[in-house]
Structure 1
Amino acid sequence: MERKYFGLVLFFIILLTSQEMVIQSEARVCEVPSKTFSGLCFSDTHCIVRCHSEGYGYGKCSHILRRCRCLKAC
């Protein structure tokens, strides 16, 4: 009976150790101030539209200075 479960136990050990070996990496993100956005930024929607027109993938409002910041993968 021990031999019957040996393959199953070995399979789970290999499965668990293979998950530990996977290295995940994140893409670097570059953030620059928008050149076309004017005024204080309170809504990300308007900032995103401006950043898309400047060729960036995303835009967000900074929390402290309320400026539009454009983001893209470096």
Structure 2
Amino acid sequence: MDRKFLGLVLFFIVLLTSQETVIHSEAKICEVPSKTFKGPCIKDKNCQVRCHSEGYGYGKCSHFRRLCMCLKPCDD
């Protein structure tokens, strides 16, 4: 019984250590001020709607400057 258990433990150790490590690289995201949003940006939802209508995937309020910032992948 002990040999079977030890064999099973060694099998799982070999199985876990033999997995290849995959590193995913994500594209950098740049913030671009909205061209059509007017006034101070307080709610992210309003900014998201405006950025989406400008062709961006996402928008959020810059809480420090109160600007609507649209997000897009950076051009390298």
TM-score (norm 2): 0.76
Task: State the Cα distance separating 1:12 from its structure 2 match.
Answer: 2.1
The CA RMSD over aligned residues, in Å, is 2.1
Identity %: 70
2:61 partner amino acid: C
1:14: how far off?
3.1
> Which 5+ residue runs of structure 2 have no aligned equivalent?
none
Indicate how the Cα distance of structure 1 residues 16 and 24 shifts in structure 2: closer, same or farther if over 3 A, else same: farther
Instruction: Tell me which protein shows more helix as a share of its residues.
Output: 1
> When the two structures are aligned, how many residues end up with a matched partner?
73
Residue by residue, what CA displacement relative to the aligned partner does 1:32-53 show, whole Å, maximum 9, x if unpaired? 1101111100000110011001
Q: Which runs of 4+ in 1 moved over 6 A?
A: none
Aligned counterparts of 1:68 and 1:10: Cα–Cα separation in 2: 55
- 1:11-70 residue CA offsets vs partner (Å, 9 max, x unmatched): 321343227x23243332121110111110000011001100110000000011000000
Q: Distance in 2 between matches of 1:29 and 1:43?
A: 21
